[in-house]
């Protein structure tokens, strides 16, 4: 199914299927969504390979071991998070992995992926003897690249949109949004989050060059992303719900407060430690003041 999309006055025709491979009876469709997600992941890995040694000092081989194990676990956690909170009906384990007759693998949630990635990453760091906070700092910058790029997969699928904008030009609509919401331009929430993440990437990349303590970039990422996600989620119409509570808003609020408070405490502690260093006069070595009294007496 193709989508006829109007966004900010531009009209586009979008086919979610990029191409079909001659595999199986009916062929195997390759979707733009998967390609875009893979591109985001690739950019994250490229960033890690370029800047890892210079800024974070992690052994590259060990870093790749952590990434290769963590990635599939993160995908499964993203799927599990979606299935649990969206109330997806599965007829068996095959449906969870996309081989059954029900919803298949359609549906993942980014928070599940993030939580799963950092949990599995922590375990792998322990196993491969990689400094946990260095790895989390590096992963944070990679994650925000992947999220900024990956959200465009939602645009291709015409999902992750919000309520009506009430504007005659700001927003988007398609045959899918019209079918689900009715006529009118809706908030392109995928775009809001993509822009928020891209801005966040440049901020994190800037501070990664001069981080003051380990864990700073990770906590900054969590604070930045959860703050923006809380407000963007309030606009969406497809939020996962826990009763009347938007799950992502609740998670965002809790994570933001925890990360922001921790970040503030660590900055204060770091500032105090820097202020406790003893002052040494720059030119003391060239004056009698630099010599102990006993040594001065001997020289006389």
> Which regions of the chain are under pLDDT 50?
102-104, 279, 282-290, 293-300
> Which residues does 77 contact at the CB level (< 8 Å), separation at least 6?
112, 113, 115, 116, 117, 119, 120
Structure tokens at 12: 């586009």
Beta bridge partners of 256: none
- The Cβ of residue 43 has, within 10 Å, a number of other Cβ atoms equal to 17
**pLDDT attached to residue 264:** 95
pLDDT in tens, 71-119: 999 988 888 887 777 666 666 676 676 655 544 455 677 778 888 988 9
**pLDDT attached to residue 26:** 72
**pLDDT attached to residue 297:** 47
**pLDDT attached to residue 177:** 95
Mean pLDDT (the chain) is 85
**pLDDT attached to residue 243:** 83
**pLDDT attached to residue 242:** 80
pTM confidence score: 0.80
Tell me how far CA of residue 155 lies from CA of 5, 7, 104, 197, in angstroms: 10, 10, 21, 15
């Amino acid at each position: 199914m193709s989508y006829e999309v109007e966004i900010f006055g531009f009209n586009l025709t979008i086919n979610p299927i990029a191409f079909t491979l001659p595999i199986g009876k009916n062929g195997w469709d390759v979707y733009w969504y998967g390609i875009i997600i893979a591109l985001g992941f690739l950019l994250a890995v490229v960033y890690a390979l370029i800047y890892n040694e210079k800024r974070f000092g992690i052994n590259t081989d060990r870093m790749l071991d952590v990434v290769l194990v963590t990635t599939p676990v993160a995908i499964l956690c993203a799927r599990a998070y979606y299935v649990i909170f969206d109330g997806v009906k599965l007829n068996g384990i095959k449906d969870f992995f996309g081989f059954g007759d029900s919803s298949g693998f359609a549906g993942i949630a980014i928070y599940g992926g993030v939580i799963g990635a950092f949990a599995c990453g922590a375990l792998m760091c322990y196993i491969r003897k990689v400094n946990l906070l260095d790895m989390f700092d590096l992963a944070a910058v990679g994650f925000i690249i992947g999220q900024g790029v990956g959200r465009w997969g939602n645009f291709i699928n015409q999902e992750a949109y919000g309520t009506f904008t009430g504007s005659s030009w700001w927003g988007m609509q398609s045959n899918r949004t019209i079918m689900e919401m009715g006529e009118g331009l809706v908030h392109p929430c995928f775009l809001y989050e993509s822009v928020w993440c891209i801005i966040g990437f440049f901020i994190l990349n800037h501070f990664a060059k001069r981080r003051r303590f380990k864990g700073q970039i990770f906590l900054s990422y969590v604070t930045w992303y959860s703050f923006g996600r809380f407000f963007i989620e309030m606009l969406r119409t497809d939020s996962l719900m826990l009763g009347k509570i938007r799950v992502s808003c609740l998670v965002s609020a809790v994570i933001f407060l925890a990360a922001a408070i921790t970040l503030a405490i660590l900055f204060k502690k770091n500032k105090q430690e820097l202020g406790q260093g003893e002052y040494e006069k720059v030119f003391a070595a060239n004056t009698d003041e630099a010599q102990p009294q006993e040594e001065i007496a001997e020289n006389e």
